Amino acid sequence: MSALPPDQARLYESCAFDIHGWSSLREKKKTLASQGHQGYLYEVSSPEGIHMGYYNVRSSQDGKVVIANQQPFLQLSYTISGNKSYHIDAGHKMLVSFEKQQYNYLFFPQQEIHLNWHANEPLETFELGISPELTLNFLPEEHPLYAMFHQSMAHNAPASLSKDHLPLQAGISTILYDMLNCPLDGRYKQLYLKAKTMELLAIQLKQYEQILGIRQDANARTLKKGDVERMYLARDIIISNMNSPCTLIDLAHQVGTNDAYLKSHFKLVFGTTVYGYLQGIKMTHARELLAQGKNVSEVAYLSGYKHTAHFTRAFKKHFGFAPGIMKR
């Protein structure tokens, strides 16, 4: 492994990872406040072969973690905010990179994988690892990802199973935060994590088919590539004008469609309405502000709410917990 420059060495970490490494449910919580890192991490591992990691970090220089995988597994990689990339071949070759509000299915073999992120940029990400045995129990044989997963395992080669990243729907984010804030312990938490993992896969595998135009039956609705691209453009406009959103008709005209198609196509791609998506990114931004230490009333004002109580209700409805919990 190549050495890092002296000014980057303190941001370099290496860890071994085994998807079957535990005989019982194991959890790790850590606040990061040294060696150039600021933030929080949470990891939970189930003996069934499920590992969830949540990482919310900002680094003073480009950060890197080298994960020495002891066994192959499926990695569901979700980026809430920030940018990250995975590298192979001792870090010399990029496997895949992510921007905010994207996820993908990755196959990681028994080898080192380098995870990199940018300096001075908040990174919030979930990583859900699932053992091959459990993956094959959940993944239908007729699904297009099944063959790609088998091929990657046969060649023991790291791969991004979907050539295009998928948009992070509001429902998916809600399930991830449910897993992060699970109120149960022990065997009941283990059962909860398995149930939520199955729920995630059910939603995501269906979304994969819809977005990529894979028809399951004669009545299934699919979109052309141009339709999907217009919805991504609409999403970018929504994000850029979060505090002064335009009307549905104006948004439709900007992306070259009408409001009826905008409503139906946007929901197919992102799993929610235009308003629901706008509300989701506002809540995600509010959550980032709270994580930075701002108080609830200030965040309510910055999120466009005149009354803190209205913001608190909206936040709790979206995430399932009150904004005050972030402060604690």
pLDDT of residue 294: 87
What's the one-letter identity of residue 162? S
Low-confidence spans in the chain with pLDDT less than 50: 1-11, 214-220
pLDDT of residue 327: 58
The vertex-45 CA angle with 42 and 50, nearest 5°, equals: 115
Pick the closest to residue 290 from 250, 317, 268, 321 (CA basis): 321
pLDDT of residue 45: 94
Q: What percent of the chain clears pLDDT 70, i.e. is strictly above it?
A: 91
For 86, counting Cβ atoms within 10 Å of its Cβ (0-12 exposed, 13-18 middle, 19+ buried), the class is buried
Phi, psi of 303 (to 5 degrees): -90, 0
Give tens-digit pLDDT for 172-198: 888 998 899 898 999 999 999 999 999
pLDDT of residue 186: 92
Pick the closest to residue 229 from 176, 280, 164 (CA basis): 164
Taking the whole predicted model, whether its pTM rises above 0.75 is answered as: no
Whether the CB-CB separation of 28 and 42 falls below 8 Å is answered with yes
pLDDT of residue 328: 56
Give tens-digit pLDDT for 140-161: 888 888 888 988 999 889 999 9
